[in-house]
Structure 1
Amino acid sequence: MKFLQLVPSLLLTGTVFVSFTTFTRSEEILLAKLKKITASTDLRASSPQQTSLVTNSRRVQPTKEIQRVSEIEHPLKSAQMLLVQSPPLQTAPSKEVVQVTGVKANPTDKGVEVILQTSVGEQLQLINRSSGKSFIADIQNAQLRLPSGDAFTFRSQKPTAGITEITVINQDANTIRVTVIGETGMPTVELFDTDEGLILGLMPVASSTQLQQQPDTQQKPGVDKPSRENPPEKPSARGDEPIELVVTGQADGYSASDATTATRTDTPIRDIPQSIQVVPRQVLEDQGTIRIDNTVRNVSGIAADGQGGSARQRFNIRGFSNFSSFGGGFLRNGFREGEGGFRETANIERIEVLKGPASVLYGNLEPGGVINIVIEQPLRDPFYSGELQIGSYNLYRPSIDLSGPFNLDRTLLYRLNAVYENSDTFRKFDQGIERYFIAPVLTWNIGERTKLNLELDYLNDERPFDRGLVAIGREVADIPITRILGEPDDVFEFEELGVGYRLEHQFSENLTIRNSFRFLSQDTFDYRAEPLALNATTGILSRNFRSNNDILERYSLQTDIVGKFATGAVKHTLLFGVDLTRQTTEGTQRRLPGGRTPSINIFAPVYNLIPRPGLSLLTNVVRDNNSSANTLGIFLQDQIAFADNFKLLLGGRFDLVDQESTNNLNDTTTSQYDEAFTPRIGIVYQPIEPISLYASYSQSFVPNSGIRVDGSILEPTRGTQYEVGIKGEFFNRKLSTALAAYQITKTNIATADLNNNAFVVPVGEQRSRGLELDVVGEILPGWNIIASYAYTDAEVTEDNPRSRGGNLGNQLANVPYNSASLWTTYEIQSGNLKGLGFGIGLFFVGERQGDLENTFVLPSYLRSDAAIFYRQNNWRAAINVNNLFDVKYFEASDFGRVTVRPGAPLTIIGSLSVEF
């Protein structure tokens, strides 16, 4: 059934006429709004730009002008006509920040429509800042937010003839910027609001004939290149209903504007007074990464550390190991992960690296920094992806990524990532790598303001246990890097199960409560021929058969309340939280009695001189203990904005730690109760919009596991950091830079008690000073870059004064003075070769000390990587080459002269992925 439609025709005299035509029932809602606008608004001519009211892809007669703010005589009540032109410094009235929860791009018969999804579209006001061929509008008091709470960026390149690019970004904490770049001139923009949100209809400066002759292809309008987070959509069932592209939140390309790790709130990186770098998913895909080791090397100040027999992932951040007795230095969505195993990359959305102390938010962490792995979340629209990677050393790695809604109203969403991996290594073990991983996630949108996430992840990993090579004199022994000095069947087994939930309720736009829980269980086992000591003259390496068997369980509960309010002109984002953690461990180490394990000649090794002893024959039990640690943390943080360009961060945390350890060998129990307060203060000043200057002071603490001769546990180690820096955003915020200088001092470090070497005393101090530079983003369309440089001077500044020489003045192990990285890709944007891309990487690590005693040196190296890839429609093929010139290099040492880990030689990985 068709009805009459009112179409306001605006004349230069300001008189409103009414013409009659027909419209469908789906447009009835707009009719009342049109009447309201025409009855209450006096429209005047002031600009050559055009704007109009549209209904989906149908256009109503446009008005001739866009008004300036100064020329509006009556306040507008609808977003239909809120596009206004103003001087650059004009600001919109202050109001609550509107959450835009999604972006859609729909084709029309004249161009394309961009829909900003929000239930209060009428509250959005646009300030026009257009110039040249670009239409630019700022939507004040608004922010892009995913259902999961993450900020995101939307970009569509060449969505239709005549338009080069559309971007929608968070310009700052309270402003969304929409940019539309025309090929030959500024596009015409048409506006209206619906129950779905605010719609911008875009018509390029091109003739209707040109538009009608645009080829009909299977490529979806509004998207230049599909990705795992922007999957191709299926055609609509209705012929007149547009195909839509739903952007679900992954930062576009290499750019990332926000991070949660530094403040536990969604905060623009430019407003954080501490160094934080984000490695987005696109970098992992371009580099063909299946190990986090190869991902964090893109970030300044991170160096490889001992990996416990190539079975764990540990790093030095700003000179300090990220491993502590309370687990590894990884967070998973803000929860501490355990020590052991290799973190899986298949379900990673991005990696956030926070440099410096983070104890104020996460409790006991080493002062160098922390690596937070942000996991992918369910999508509102069906998405199915499969990938197969095949490469050197018989690598075979299929994976799937499935997501979508369970029900029609999309309140119940799921995501499933699963991986199987099987490969050999470049080291000559009989043992290979076999790995299973599965991670389902379920999201239940209980109501408009309440959401529940349920997560489970399971990992089973088996690989060789490998201590690597040995040092002779001041250098690594000149033997092939493929040679093993243990036994060919040395093995490491790891099993991990994680289960958790996250419940979030938004009382209002300014008050949110989050409650999260995670249970983590890890079971590790190894059996190896452990290297002990090398006779440098004969090349004979003594060894000992030994086995570790350990179990860790951790229960973690987090509750946060985030409130936003103002005291006069000063704005606050207040965070209050409570963390509860209980961790239990139990384990043993068994050894074959001394003298029964055959030694090996590193120059002419002979393996399997005796049959591998059964576990029952490892009768020398040197460790049999169980321990527990209960922690309570209470923290408060206030992000204060005195002005748009002047911000202060204040935070403090109080922790209670109750430890108990039982030695089952002698039936003794030791306990320790610690209290710690860790503050943080930072200031940010932005003299001009792209530049942020900052300074900060922060502290950290970690409970000590060292035991005095009287049986008591040492007091916690403390870390103190001073940091200053400058951050910049360029090319319309597509390229970010960060330069930081810092000093970290770690005190109360356990050192050997010279009266009894079996015990320790707390007299050690270490200091790290450095300078870091990071660059990441897009230089030109299709040209991405992530690069870094770090100068790190980490040394022992205090040691046991009674020791003979000791380590005073020594450099910390595995920390290079200089390190740098460069990875850049370019993808052809048009023509017959569109979708073809190339990548090249250079990774430099300077000379490092191999142990704390500084008895030998690991040489510097420059490793080169390369990639070629081709993406078309919904598939992508790639070849990645690591260590292109087959350079011999050494990554790190585990704990000294007999545990040097060699780097992999030339490695090739091919991949093919398909998305539906």
Structure 2
Amino acid sequence: MRTTLLKLLTIAGISLGMLSDNAQAQTTTDLVIEGRVEDEKGKPVPNVSVRVEELKTSTSTDAQGHYQLQLKPGKYTLRFSFIGYKIQLKKADLTTESLHHFNAALAEDSGQLQNVEITGRKERSYKASGSFSGSKTETALRDIPQAISYVTKEVIEDQQAFRTIDLIKNMSGVNAFSTYDNDIVIRGFRASNSLINGLRTISNGWSSSLLPYVEKMEVIKGPASAMFANTDPGGTVNIITKKPLNEDRKSVMLSTGSYNTTRIATDFTGPIDSAKTFLYRLNLAYQNAGSFRVLQGSEDIVIAPSFSFIPDDKTKVNFEMVYSRTNGRLDRGQPIFGATAGAGAELLYSTPISFAIGKDNDFLKQTNLFSTISIQRKISDKLSINASYMKFFWKEDLMEHRTSNNYAVDAAGLPIPTLMEMRASRRFTTNNTDNLTLYGTYDLKTGPLTHKVLFGYDYIQSAFPKDNNSSISARGYRNAANTGTINSYNPANSSRYLIVNNRPVPNVPHFDLTNPDYSFALMSDYFTSATINENTPSKYYVNGVYIQDQVKWNKFQLLLALRKEYYVDLIKAGEADEQKVDQSALLPRVGLVFTPIAPLSIYGTYTESYQPQGAATVGNAAVFGGPFDPLMGKMIEGGVKMELFEKRLAINIAAYRIEEKNILINANDDANPDLLRQVGEQRSTGIETDIYGSVNANLSILANFSYNKAIITESDVAEEVGTLMPNAPRSQGNVWAKYVFGSRELKGLGIAIGSNYVTKRNTLNSALQLPGYTLVNAALSYSVKKFKMAVNFNNIFDKTHWIGGYDFNRLFPGTPRNYMTSIGYVF
């Protein structure tokens, strides 16, 4: 990995050196070219890219549509471009006069919208104008009858975020359940599925996803099954990757900060040929970082190339690949002392938040590799055919010592609250996931109505093959003869166990919370056995057909969708005793948007979700219990979407009610720690607000607020009815504002400040509740010519807090006060 880092640093150094030579070869002149860019109604258009084609020099318009460039005398071509408008070219013949004026009027171009995302987003702000997630074709967010929260790459850069877990505070109603990949809570429901560019990925990873190749992170609020098959009722995360642009943009950034963090990231994009039919993008990133957590920290690398081929106005093709690798340890969370009589929340502080369980020789090596090809072919002015295929490969190589989620016991079976019962695992696992989506769109008119009809087919397949899924583990207590183990201790049969000092002897030594031992330990030190449940090969595949119609009439837009889904799960796939579980569902979606005036949309929607229980769960009643019914949910939502300050600022307000039946939770059975049970029904009702964009050219803002009541409404355990669902706060909010000074004295100086809060939350254990918290963050930046320097301060007041948690033995503390500095070069 050091060799890889050296290579990346060498590439960055060569790039910077070449740029420095180019910069020295250029001389500043006194000739100034300036102008104003307006739309067809005479209103200014901010953030328009103004590019000098011959010099590959560019700038962008400010909030009033103004721009300014300094050039040598000569003949040039000025290119004015911005998403949603037709490109305009102007010839400029610069004489020796010191000032030249060139204005431009841009015409709107709805034809720039894509059915399959081939070329990238050109906007450079906290606000995004459109999304593919709401309807599978690029649609203005104000026209989608469902709430979609998002974070753009500009926010990612300004907050110096590196993983998805760093971003969720920026979206209303979204918070962490743990620090693991996609283990979040959306509108009170725990998420279990995620998408990349609208295509399904494996969700079993431990390390939170990396961000260097991410253009935008979205959360589709509420059920999205009518578009994306089996999704969660609270919402679904969708990662949009950076696509090639048809204009040159390049950047290199070096960062360092708390916990010995070192980071380098590069982003190169532009046309390959002069005709701009071939486009490319290359993102590279490397990070080596420690942690405030004992034995944690990791080394990460990302390599993400993508290419677009646009031979004519009817054909578009995109190919991309993302390789990411993490080398660290698996953090199972902070353990605290076990519950004792009269003790409650104060036990949270019985161990420091840096406390973790493990051994020095533990490791987690995780690899993700996915590649995607997308094709769009315009058959006629009305008909387009679209196809996307993604292959996702995930590999885990793991050695860990962890708790068995229990405290040690004495010979009488009484718990010892300062000793953790342990287990050890050595595991190698792979997964292959395939996604194929084929759909067409057809535009037609029936009287006063215009239709965009979408009809399609999806195939999703995910497999854990037998040959690449091996695991051994050590757990339980040693038998009286010390020749083997028994999984759990039963004091009624104490004669069957090896007893020393009035305690049963564990197979893996207990972990003493008062005197931790992190020394090396090998699997050969224990009695081990194959982990049958984890070694069982499994596979699932989904076939879905769907139709959708987006109907427009006057100021109304109606969305009607219906999907028929067929789920097939296989346990012991390919073996003689293979078990097959077939399930199916019919999933409707109805939405209405009313636009009384151009900047304002009012919408309402109804949609459903369906998630079959996995074959490994349904088909193994001896271990998990069951059989279990599928997860079924439904949502009704209404809201308002507004655009203010010449469409620079977006405000979205939503109110909702979501119901889900048959969630599986652990039964807390000491004799069978894997036993599950179903909770009858949960209901989430709430209101949320998201604000994105800029007030003017100097002030950018991102803010959100949510109030959510997520409770259990039906359960076989009477005491559970009315209780808050785990890690579902009643209220949470966030604000991040950045101001860049425009005066000559302070030009280029930026200051940002932000704060986020979360109210108290329940854990999976009714005896333990996590306190609420409020954090304050800030940043300073300075841009001069093509250089940008920044420093971010997080959790300025060093607030001790927990972002999520399972139980007394598995809590996830937030990071104490920390900082990150960076220097970047854009060209």
Is TM > 0.5 for Structure 1 vs Structure 2?
yes
CA distance in 2: counterparts of 1:591 and 1:369, whole angstroms: 35
1:689 lines up with 2:558 in the alignment = no
1:691-706 mapped onto 2 (5 Å cutoff) = 691-705=600-614, 706=617
1:464 lines up with 2:326 in the alignment = no
Of 842, 867, 891, which residue of structure 1 is paired with 2:803?
891
* Equivalent position SS for 1:372: strand
1:546-585 mapped onto 2 (5 Å cutoff) = 546-585=425-464
Q: CA deviation at 1:136?
A: 8.4
Q: CA deviation at 1:109?
A: 7.9
AA at the equivalent of 2:721: L
CA distance in 2: counterparts of 1:836 and 1:551, whole angstroms: 48
CA distance in 1: counterparts of 2:131 and 2:320, whole angstroms: 21
Residue 507 and residue 108 in structure 1: after superposition, are their counterparts in 2 closer, same or farther (change >3 A)?
farther
* Equivalent position SS for 2:170: coil
- Worse-superposed segment, 541-550 or 650-659: 541-550
Report the equivalent of 2:407: 534
AA at the equivalent of 1:612: L
Question: Residue 389 of structure 2 contacts residue 434 of structure 2 at CA under 8 Å; is this kept in 1?
Answer: yes
Report the equivalent of 1:418: 284
Report the equivalent of 1:120: none
Report the equivalent of 1:435: 300
Question: Residue 252 of structure 2 contacts residue 824 of structure 2 at CA under 8 Å; is this kept in 1?
Answer: yes
Report the equivalent of 1:39: none
AA at the equivalent of 1:449: K
CA distance in 2: counterparts of 1:427 and 1:530, whole angstroms: 15
Q: CA deviation at 1:897?
A: 2.4
1:745 lines up with 2:627 in the alignment = no
Of 582, 592, 595, which residue of structure 1 is paired with 2:474?
592
AA at the equivalent of 2:384: T
CA distance in 1: counterparts of 2:635 and 2:684, whole angstroms: 9
Q: CA deviation at 1:606?
A: 2.9
Question: Residue 848 of structure 1 contacts residue 859 of structure 1 at CA under 8 Å; is this kept in 2?
Answer: yes
Q: CA deviation at 1:214?
A: 5.2
AA at the equivalent of 2:640: I
Q: CA deviation at 1:288?
A: 0.8
Q: CA deviation at 1:534?
A: 3.1
Report the equivalent of 2:569: 659
Report the equivalent of 2:187: 318
Of 430, 436, 444, which residue of structure 1 is paired with 2:309?
444
Report the equivalent of 1:267: 139
CA distance in 1: counterparts of 2:309 and 2:820, whole angstroms: 38
* Equivalent position SS for 1:284: helix
Q: CA deviation at 1:677?
A: 0.9
Report the equivalent of 1:781: 697
Residue 887 and residue 212 in structure 1: after superposition, are their counterparts in 2 closer, same or farther (change >3 A)?
farther
Of 817, 821, 827, which residue of structure 1 is paired with 2:734?
821
Q: CA deviation at 1:403?
A: 2.2
Residue 837 and residue 111 in structure 1: after superposition, are their counterparts in 2 closer, same or farther (change >3 A)?
closer
Question: Residue 649 of structure 2 contacts residue 693 of structure 2 at CA under 8 Å; is this kept in 1?
Answer: yes
Q: CA deviation at 1:670?
A: 2.5
Report the equivalent of 2:212: 346
Question: Residue 297 of structure 1 contacts residue 303 of structure 1 at CA under 8 Å; is this kept in 2?
Answer: yes
CA distance in 2: counterparts of 1:754 and 1:911, whole angstroms: 47
Question: Residue 464 of structure 1 contacts residue 489 of structure 1 at CA under 8 Å; is this kept in 2?
Answer: no
Q: CA deviation at 1:353?
A: 1.7
Q: CA deviation at 1:612?
A: 2.7
* Equivalent position SS for 1:596: coil
Q: CA deviation at 1:525?
A: 2.7
Residue 795 and residue 136 in structure 1: after superposition, are their counterparts in 2 closer, same or farther (change >3 A)?
closer
Question: Residue 61 of structure 2 contacts residue 67 of structure 2 at CA under 8 Å; is this kept in 1?
Answer: no
Residue 279 and residue 510 in structure 1: after superposition, are their counterparts in 2 closer, same or farther (change >3 A)?
farther
Question: Residue 243 of structure 2 contacts residue 306 of structure 2 at CA under 8 Å; is this kept in 1?
Answer: yes
CA distance in 2: counterparts of 1:615 and 1:577, whole angstroms: 55
Of 704, 721, 743, which residue of structure 2 is paired with 1:830?
743
CA distance in 2: counterparts of 1:515 and 1:749, whole angstroms: 34
1:14-53 mapped onto 2 (5 Å cutoff) = none
CA distance in 1: counterparts of 2:568 and 2:539, whole angstroms: 8
1:725 lines up with 2:597 in the alignment = no
Deviations 1:159-192 (A, max 9, x none): 1399xxx99877xxxx85xxxxxxxxxxxxxxxx
CA distance in 1: counterparts of 2:91 and 2:742, whole angstroms: 24
AA at the equivalent of 2:609: S
Report the equivalent of 1:797: 713
Question: Residue 281 of structure 1 contacts residue 348 of structure 1 at CA under 8 Å; is this kept in 2?
Answer: yes
Question: Residue 81 of structure 2 contacts residue 87 of structure 2 at CA under 8 Å; is this kept in 1?
Answer: no
Aligned-residue sequence identity (percent) comes to 27
Deviations 1:13-64 (A, max 9, x none): xxxxxxxxxxxxxxxxxxxxxxxxxxxxxxxxxxxxxxxxxxxxxxxxxxxx
Report the equivalent of 2:319: 454
**TM-score, length basis structure 2:** 0.79
Q: CA deviation at 1:559?
A: 0.8
Deviations 1:339-395 (A, max 9, x none): 213322111111222100001111111111112111111222333321111111111
Question: Residue 45 of structure 2 contacts residue 61 of structure 2 at CA under 8 Å; is this kept in 1?
Answer: no
Of 374, 397, 414, which residue of structure 2 is paired with 1:525?
397
Comparing both chains, which one has the higher relative contact order based on Cα–Cα distances under 8 Å and sequence gaps of 6 or more?
2
CA distance in 1: counterparts of 2:270 and 2:666, whole angstroms: 57
Report the equivalent of 2:8: none
* Equivalent position SS for 2:172: coil
Q: CA deviation at 1:135?
A: 6.3
* Equivalent position SS for 1:508: coil
* Equivalent position SS for 2:523: coil
Residue 691 and residue 197 in structure 1: after superposition, are their counterparts in 2 closer, same or farther (change >3 A)?
closer
Q: CA deviation at 1:689?
A: 2.5
Report the equivalent of 2:249: 383
Report the equivalent of 1:764: 680
CA distance in 1: counterparts of 2:626 and 2:329, whole angstroms: 37
Of 351, 362, 374, which residue of structure 1 is paired with 2:228?
362
Q: Which runs of 5+ in 1 are unaligned?
A: 1-106, 116-125, 138-152, 177-195, 223-246, 324-328
Question: Residue 356 of structure 1 contacts residue 368 of structure 1 at CA under 8 Å; is this kept in 2?
Answer: yes
Of 551, 557, 561, which residue of structure 2 is paired with 1:640?
551
Report the equivalent of 1:159: 67
Q: CA deviation at 1:438?
A: 0.5
Deviations 1:760-812 (A, max 9, x none): 56562211111111111112221011111111111222223xx5x46333221
Q: CA deviation at 1:412?
A: 1.8
Residue 888 and residue 221 in structure 1: after superposition, are their counterparts in 2 closer, same or farther (change >3 A)?
farther
Of 559, 564, 568, which residue of structure 2 is paired with 1:649?
559
AA at the equivalent of 1:518: M
Q: CA deviation at 1:428?
A: 2.1
CA distance in 1: counterparts of 2:92 and 2:713, whole angstroms: 63
AA at the equivalent of 2:654: A
CA distance in 1: counterparts of 2:782 and 2:32, whole angstroms: 31
Residue 732 and residue 796 in structure 1: after superposition, are their counterparts in 2 closer, same or farther (change >3 A)?
same
Of 586, 589, 596, which residue of structure 2 is paired with 1:680?
589
Q: How many residues align?
A: 706
Residue 386 and residue 199 in structure 1: after superposition, are their counterparts in 2 closer, same or farther (change >3 A)?
closer
* Equivalent position SS for 1:446: strand
- Worse-superposed segment, 522-531 or 282-291: 522-531
Question: Residue 37 of structure 2 contacts residue 45 of structure 2 at CA under 8 Å; is this kept in 1?
Answer: no
Q: CA deviation at 1:198?
A: 4.9
Report the equivalent of 2:496: none
Q: CA deviation at 1:879?
A: 0.5
Q: CA deviation at 1:754?
A: 11
Question: Residue 824 of structure 1 contacts residue 839 of structure 1 at CA under 8 Å; is this kept in 2?
Answer: yes
Q: Which runs of 5+ in 2 are unaligned?
A: 1-29, 47-58, 71-78, 105-118, 409-414, 477-505
Report the equivalent of 2:786: 874
